[in-house]
Amino acid sequence: MVRLLIVAAIIIVILLIIRSNRKKTDSNKPDIYKKIILMFIIAVVLIFLVTSGKLILPQVLQILKVALPFLTKFIGI
């Protein structure tokens, strides 16, 4: 996990440097580096959440597993 965090930080710094160099040049192209940085940060956060097991989806599935017999009982009435 620490390696992933270090690699993510290095990639973000590189993208920020490229973005700042691109801003110095006068171009009318849309700033795609901002979107790439945002998507990369979101992906890293999701990877940390999934690997740490604190994602809310497994808890929701556990609740559904417990509630499913009661739900089918009420549907059958």
DSSP notation for 30-61 = --HHHHHHHHHHHHHHHHHHHHHT--HHHHHH
Domain that includes residue 65, residue range: 2-76
Model pLDDT, residue 7 = 82
Number of folded domains in the chain? 1
Q: Indicate the residue type of 68.
A: L
Q: What angle do CA 9, 53, 72 make, to 5 degrees?
A: 140
Q: Indicate the residue type of 8.
A: A
Q: Could you list the mean pLDDT of each consecutive 10-residue stretch along the chain, which spans 77 residues?
A: 78 82 67 80 77 66 79 70
